Structure 1
Amino acid sequence: MPPGRALDQWTSVTDLSYLLKHLIGGVLASAALLAFLRKVSGASDEPRTKRRRTMFACATALAMAILFFAKLQPYETPSILADPVARYAFLAYTLLFLGYLTASLLGGMRLCWRWGHNSSGPALSWGLRIVGMGLAAGVAYAVVRATTITTRIHGDGLFPGAMDDYISTALLMAALVLIVAGTSLPMLSLLHSWRTKRHALLRLRPLWRDLTQVTPSVRLHAPRSVVTEHLNPLNVHDRLYRRGVEIRDAALALNNYASPALRKRAQQHAEAHGLFGTQAAIAAEACWLATARHAKLRGAAPGSSVEHRPAGGGRDLHSEISALTQLSDAYHSDLVRDFTDAEDRLMEPLA
């Protein structure tokens, strides 16, 4: 037995599922979709406007319920048209529902058209445009359905046979598919951003672990295990931001363990391996950071204060993490290992 028919029999209310389908799948869903579009598009929403939309939705739902229980009982939907009074109540009920649906969809189309050109990223922009196309298909569905019901009340319908039902169903399915596809695009973009940040977080862990091991005071929290790090999907953005800060703080703490002479040798070492410009500067920074870490582990005393200028970085998280990732790759390269081994051999006679 279909769930709708089971509900009707359980409540002893004929076609109650028909009313609930329109109230939940129509009025509530369209109101929720409009609120969602306003949220993701960044449109401002005054409290008075929000209350007005809520009252409009509630008034529509109340009027539909009154018409349903006052005039559309105890008829089943196919037999309503045989009663002269009930069929006009059914027409009013249908036009009220479709009118609210059309108004909501048109409001959503305006939002999509306005904010689709001013959104923060291509995924959101195209997502809103696709949703707008789906809403336009929904408006077309509502218009065709309203015309079909009206013409059936007074005659044989707009199209011959069941053609109007096929057209309405096709428009409704197109609307649903486009709306689902459009609303999924921003979520896919967020998922891609999350995956990118999580990859960077895990990729920077070895560098972070090495540097903060000798400068534990820069850590905000106690280190977590590798398994916990991999399995925890929460707060990836904040954790990545904090990891970048702690790496930079650790480098600053190790700064006085790297003399100007050491930095010069590191720069010459990088250039001797064919690097130049920013690549050479990043490799040189990785060289003296690794050497400074070894010096602190040996218990060496810090030298005089040296100005610390990171080889790369930027004002936003993306450019900063990009620079730190390059630093991490250089830090774990053979070039840096060769440099630190040579520096350690120079320090052995002094130990």
Structure 2
Amino acid sequence: MNIFTFVVAVLLWITVAWRAAKVWRKGQDRSLWWAFFGLAVMMTLRMPPGRALDQWTGVTDLSYLLKHLIGGVLASAALLAFLRKVSGASDGPRTKRRRIVFACATALAMSILFFAKLQPYETLSIFADPVARYVFLAYTLLFLGYLTASLLGGMRVCWRWGRNSSGPALSWGLRTIGVGLAAGVAYAVVRAATITTRMHGDGLFPGAVDDYISTALLMAALVLIVAGSSLPMLSLLHSWWTKRHALLRLRPLWRDLTQATPSVRLHAPRGAVTEHLNPLNVHDRLYRRGVEIRDAALALNNYASLALRKRAQQHAEARGLFGTQAAIAAEACWLAAARHAKLRGAAPGSSVEHRPAGGGRDLRSEISALTQLSDAYHSDLVRDFTDSEDRLMEPPA
């Protein structure tokens, strides 16, 4: 379990560092960050740094108390607050104060029991003292009781609001956290039964089997909580990746059209490498790219006569296309021909009403339509059409 404990601790600290840049810089709700911070500290104190802290402070088993206060009381209270907020459950000031008072009273009682009677014994030596072991039992049951109450409250929130959340990522995230909290409750029950039965016996199972079981349940709870809280972020990452892919995919069409109509560009064009390496403001850049493509098409509109559009439509239909596919292909054909005409210095013709072949009211449908236009624009069908139009424009020999 030592290697697994180390891996889980590293994952928790990575999560703490990853979320810190966001919540502390932007001033967002920090309850989840505090929950992961408490869990990360708890897992760290289970390893050699915990023994080093005991030796440095000279307080026997101080790490034992701190991992319960920080990783148990603080983390579970913060996680419950986060779950209630993200699920939309409303808490009044009185409810919030009651939860804070309950957590502080539990932490104070645990500290009093720890320093009053559980010192200077080490954890394994407490059972030799008849009074200290019952104080230890009270300390343990107090901690596990608070932990169980908090986890059960979190489970109710997860299962209730997981069915009514705003999206699948949040729904599955809450349900995964709920399973993790259930594993945490099982850990608390097994741990309480183990400590109680050790008062007059060897525990639930022979040897250290009960310790292995409770540790496995604790690790499972932590992994599931981390995974569940990360699912909404994975959904955001997927959205970012999809938009970035669309941004780069539309670059060739945007470059060609705005080369002929540079006035529609809000900013000077950047190199392809720079754009590939820039991960920021993908949504805004994609939105602007779509606007500039549409503006460029509108600017090229007067360079595409009705006769040109009719030839483009006939060319698309001659290739076996029909309906929306033919309309998109025809638009790509006359856009390419109009671009060539403007770059040659041709004079604009009479105004023609411009109706895009595709598009939508939201960014997703608009980008989908522009992607189809881009694919058609760079197809052999359009190249054949522009070649034929260029031959028509050549002066007779």
Question: In the superposition, relative to structure 1, how do residues 100 and 235 fare at CA in structure 2: closer, same or farther (>3 Å)?
Answer: farther
In structure 2, what is the Cα distance between the partners aligned to 1:101 and 1:310? 60
Offset of residue 99 of structure 1: 2.0
Give 1:6-155 correspondences, 5 Å limit. Answer: 6-38=52-84, 41=87, 49-50=95-96, 52-153=98-199
Cα deviation, 1:210-236, whole Å, max 9, x if unaligned, reads 112222232222211111111112222
Q: What's the CA shift for 1:47?
A: 5.9
Say which SS state the counterpart of residue 90 (structure 2) adopts: coil
Question: 1:59 offset after TM fit, Å?
Answer: 3.7
| Alpha carbons of structure 1 residues 143 and 285: separation in structure 2 relative to 1, 3 Å | same
Q: Deviations over 1:75-130 (max 9, x none)?
A: 21112233344333322322222122212212221222123222344343333222
Q: Judging changes above 3 Å, is the alpha-carbon distance between structure 1 residues 41 and 311 closer, same or farther for their aligned structure 2 residues? A: farther
Deviation at 1:207, TM superposition (A): 0.6
Matched, 1:170 2:223: no
Question: Structure 1 residue 193: deviation in Å?
Answer: 2.5
1:205–1:178 Cα change, 3 Å:
same
Q: Compute the displacement of 1:246 (Å).
A: 1.7
* Local SS of the residue matching 2:181: helix
SS of aligned partner of 2:59: coil
Taking a change above 3 Å as real, the CA distance of residues 71 and 187 of structure 1, as seen in their structure-2 partners, is same
Shift of the 263–59 alpha-carbon distance from structure 1 to 2, 3 Å rule, reads farther
Give unmatched runs, 5+ long, in structure 1. Answer: none
Q: 1:222 and 1:88, CA in 2 relative to 1: closer, same or farther beyond 3 A?
A: farther
Using a 3 Å threshold, how does the CA distance of structure 1 residues 262 and 55 change in structure 2: closer, same or farther?
A: farther
Change (3 A) 1:250 1:44: farther
Q: What SS does the aligned partner of 1:45 have?
A: coil
Give the Cα separation in 1 of the matches to 2:306 and 2:103: 71
Task: Pick 1 or 2: higher relative contact order, CA cutoff 8 A, min separation 6.
Answer: 1
* 1:16-59: CA deviation from partner (whole Å, max 9, x where unpaired): 11122222322233234334445654555666655554444344
Question: Does 211-220 or 6-15 show the bigger shift?
Answer: 211-220
Within the candidate set 369, 372, 381, 1:326 is matched to 372
How far off its partner does 1:160 sit? 4.5
CA displacement at 1:154 relative to structure 2: 5.3
1:237 and 2:260 correspond: no
1:221 aligned residue: 267
Label 1:92 to 1:189 Cα distance change in 2 as closer, same or farther (>3 A).
Answer: same
- Pairwise CA RMSD: 2.6
Deviates more, 1:250-259 or 1:273-282: 250-259
The alignment-based identity, stated in percent, is: 92
What are the superposed Cα offsets for residues 251-307 of structure 1, whole Å, 9 maximum, x if unpaired?
122222222222111111111111111110000111111122222222333333322
1:108-156 alpha-carbon deviations (Å, 9 max, x no partner):
2122212322234434333322221121111111122123223333555
Structure 2: give runs of 5+ residues left out of the alignment: 1-46
Partners of 1:41 and 1:209 in 2: CA distance: 44
Q: Partners in 2 of 1:295 and 1:47 — Cα distance?
A: 69
- Compute the TM-score of the two structures, normalised by the length of structure 2: 0.80
Instruction: State the aligned residue count.
Output: 351
Per-residue deviation, residues 189-212 of structure 1 (Å, max 9, x unmatched): 333322222111111101111112
- Aligned CA distance change for structure 1 residues 308 and 62 (closer, same or farther; 3 Å): farther
79-88 or 280-289: which moved more?
A: 79-88
Deviates more, 1:231-240 or 1:10-19: 231-240
Residues 185 and 345 of structure 1, relative CA distance in 2, 3 Å threshold: same
CA offset digits 1:134-181 (Å, max 9, x no partner): 211111111221232233335554444434323322322332333333
SS class of match (2:213)? helix
In structure 2, relative to structure 1, the CA distance for the partners of 1:40 and 1:5 (3 Å cut) is same
Distance change (3 Å), C-alpha of 1:244 and 1:39: farther
CA distance in 2, matches of 1:67, 1:32: 24
Q: Distance in 2 between matches of 1:197 and 1:325?
A: 12
Distance in 2 (alpha carbons) for counterparts of 1:161 and 1:9? 28
- Distance in 2 between residues matched to 1:338 and 1:252, nearest whole Å: 23
Q: TM-score, normalised by structure 1?
A: 0.89
168-177 or 305-314, which moves further after superposition? 168-177
d(CA) in 1 for partners of 2:92, 2:338: 57
